[in-house]
Amino acid sequence: MVQIEEIRAAFASRLKKSVAAKGIEQWGAGARLSEIAKVTPKAASKWLNGEAMPGPAKMKAIAEALDVKIEWLQYGSGDEPGPSGVRKANEPASADTLSAADLVLEMLEKHGKGLPKEVRQRIASASNEPTNNVITVDFSRPGQVGDEVWIAHYDVRAAMGSGQIPHEYPEMLQDIRVSPKHLRDLGLTFKEHFHLKMITGWGQSMAPTIKDRDPLLVDITIREFTGDGIYLFSHDDMLYVKRLQKKGKDRFKMISDNKHHDPEDIRVDDTHILARVLYVWNGKPV
């Protein structure tokens, strides 16, 4: 199995080739990429160093700005940038873009020779089907026509015990497809679906409400205390998912649902609320 480090390193190599083919000096590559993708130079340097990869929208923006085909930049499929490999500015991006099945089949032809041909065909065919949810649950079933939306799922591990050091540039995992109407039917309150994101809870201190590695649906527009509830917040440079209650003017009571963990008083000034947890991806509103 190809390790994530190898995938990132291969992407970084292609990104550097694309930057060089565009005539961008190596010393200015990070700054130029940060302008293209609208991220910080530090985030762009992580791409160049093979420490992370951009999400779909940023990947597309980078490919277009560097005049390379996105399937080559992301997967290594097709020609390298150069006199014959660079896409001309006026050439439609979709002129000879391969389908997902074509890309998978091409990779299988190169690296999956040990598999029977019919197996390779089935894998390629499956890649052409609509993307399914990361977690299979009842409420992710299709809603009304035109009602389904995608919610980004980020690898932000919020500890429900002693806290985790937050990732500065979280990676995006596979998106979740849901129906906003169905979410509201479940009793969730939110203004716009694009305010919702998915994160992952780690640890057992919020059990039985939230179990270890349960995906959590959060509203990222809630950045201050809006009443008793479960929040994603940072405290002393650590990331938590806990219940918060106001205790006087300058303190929160940080509460774990697991009765083996005692409540703790923390200062409001030292607590930075990042989102409010609306739903646990195991069927539990909070």
Report the distance separating Cα 146 and Cα 193, nearest Å: 14
Residues of the chain with CATH 2.10.109.10: 138-285
CATH code given to domain 4-97: 1.10.260.40
138-285 folds as Umud Fragment, subunit A (2.10.109)
**Entry pTM:** 0.48
- pLDDT of amino acid 91: 43
Taking alpha carbons only, the member of 246, 94, 85 closest to residue 255 is 246
> Is residue 266 within 8 Å of 243, Cβ to Cβ?
no
Per-residue pLDDT 10s for the chain (286 aa) are: 346 778 888 899 999 999 988 888 777 788 889 889 998 878 888 899 888 889 888 999 999 999 999 989 988 887 776 543 344 434 444 434 444 445 555 554 544 445 455 544 544 444 444 433 232 223 333 334 356 777 776 655 555 555 554 444 344 445 677 788 888 888 888 888 778 888 877 788 898 998 888 888 889 889 999 999 999 888 887 888 899 999 999 999 999 999 999 999 999 999 999 889 998 876 656 7
Report the distance separating Cα 50 and Cα 34, nearest Å: 15
- pLDDT of amino acid 15: 93
> Is residue 265 within 8 Å of 276, Cβ to Cβ?
no
Report the distance separating Cα 241 and Cα 105, nearest Å: 42
- pLDDT of amino acid 168: 42
Report the distance separating Cα 110 and Cα 113, nearest Å: 7
Residues of the chain with CATH 1.10.260.40: 4-97
